Each structure stands twice: as C-alpha cells, then as structure tokens.
C-alpha cells in the first residue's frame, strides 16, 4: 500500500508527456510484470530452503505466501483504477486545454484511488478474506491515505513534467508522439 499511490504519479506524468495510449501501455506492462513477479514468488515458495538458510520454509511462506484471492483482487483493482485514472486525467486535460495540471492530477487520482480501494475490499469481502463489518473503516482509511499521498505528490508531478518538457522542448499540452 505504501508505494502503490506513486504509480498514479508515474502514469500521470506519462499521460502528460506521452499521451493516453502510452500510459495505458505502461499499465498493461505493469500487470504483466506483476504476474511475472508473482510467478517467481510462487516458485520460490514451493522450492525448499537449503539447510544452511537462515529463513526456513514456514517463515518464507508466512512472509511471501500469496492469497490467490487477495492477489487477484489487487490486480483487478490496479487495472480498473489505472485505466480510470488515465481516462479522467485526459478528460480534464481536454477540458482545461492542458492547463491546471494540479486539477487533473488530483481529480483523476482521488477518484481512481476510491475505485481501487473499493474494488479490492469488495472482492476480499465477497470471497470471505475479510469481514464486511471492516469494509467501511478500511475503505475510509485506505482512501484517505492514498488521497494524502496524491496531494503530497503534486509538486513532484510538476517537477517531473517540467523536466520532461524542458528536456524535449514541449509546450503546454504538447505530447511526444511515439508509434
């Protein structure tokens, strides 16, 4: 949960500089990277530790063992939220004619973080991983945390966009076209 909100900062920078299509492609690459990482962890979990290892099989499984439902919920939420974030970001970009970067960054991220957190929690509740009585508290806490990070990352968005625009000599609302 700690590094996850930063992915929205990254897709917002990519959206601003490279456009909607490239940002969506990065989201797809991210999901494949997640599946790959999950596969590595699963293989490691089923591989017995050597005798001299300071970490035994039980401890490794306790730390790195994956709940299939939790992983599925997280990955689905990632996809929904990132695609929603990119759509809303570009809606606001068109509406503001490329101005008010803070507005499109925060509006897109706030709503997509709500979608992300709600999706994960609904799926976890539906499959009995957590109880419904925890839903509201976890939703409020999760969304509040992610919105706080999104608000804090706004200056970093401006810095990233400034650096890319300067490096590639881009005007406001101009995107790099890569096919």
User: Around 136, how many Cα atoms within 13 Å sit in the side-chain half-sphere?
Assistant: 1
pLDDT at 135: 98
Contact 135, 128 (CB under 8 A): no
Q: Is the pLDDT of residue 142 over 90?
A: yes
Mean pLDDT in residue range 154-158: 95
Q: For helices 101-126 and 154-168, what crossing angle results, to 10°?
A: 120
Could you tell me the pLDDT band of residue 130, with boundaries at 50, 70 and 90? very high
Q: Please give the Cα distance from 32 to 37 (Å, whole number).
A: 9
Task: Render pLDDT for 33-88 as a digit per residue (tens, 0 to 9).
Answer: 988 988 898 898 899 999 999 999 999 988 888 777 888 899 999 999 999 999 99
* Segments in 47-67 forming alpha helices (H): 57-64
Contact 179, 35 (CB under 8 A): no
pLDDT at 41: 86
Q: Please give the Cα distance from 13 to 93 (Å, whole number).
A: 12
Mean pLDDT in residue range 20-25: 96
Average model confidence (pLDDT) across the chain: 92
pTM of the model: 0.87
Q: Please give the Cα distance from 159 to 80 (Å, whole number).
A: 27
pLDDT at 68: 77
pLDDT at 62: 87
pLDDT at 71: 84
pLDDT at 122: 96
pLDDT at 2: 61
Q: Is the pLDDT of residue 179 over 80?
A: no
Q: Please give the Cα distance from 142 to 113 (Å, whole number).
A: 9
What CA dihedral angle connects 49, 52, 55 and 56, to 10 degrees?
Answer: 50
């Amino acid at each position: 949960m700690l590094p996850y909100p930063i992915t929205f900062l990254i897709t917002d920078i990519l959206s601003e500089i490279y456009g909607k299509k490239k940002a969506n492609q990065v989201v797809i690459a991210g999901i494949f990277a997640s599946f790959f990482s999950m596969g590595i962890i699963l293989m490691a979990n089923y591989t017995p530790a050597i005798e001299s290892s300071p970490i035994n099989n039980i401890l490794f499984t306790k730390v790195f063992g994956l709940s299939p439902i939790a992983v599925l919920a997280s990955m689905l939420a990632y996809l929904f939220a990132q695609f929603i974030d990119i759509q809303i970001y570009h809606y606001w970009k068109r509406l503001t004619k490329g101005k008010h970067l803070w507005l499109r960054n925060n509006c897109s991220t706030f709503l997509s973080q709500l979608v992300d957190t709600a999706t994960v929690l609904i799926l976890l509740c539906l499959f009995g991983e957590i109880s419904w009585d925890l839903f509201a508290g976890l939703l409020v806490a999760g969304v509040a945390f992610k919105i706080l990070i999104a608000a804090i990352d706004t200056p970093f968005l401006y810095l990233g966009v400034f650096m890319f625009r300067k490096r590639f000599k881009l005007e406001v609302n101009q995107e790099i076209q890569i096919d």
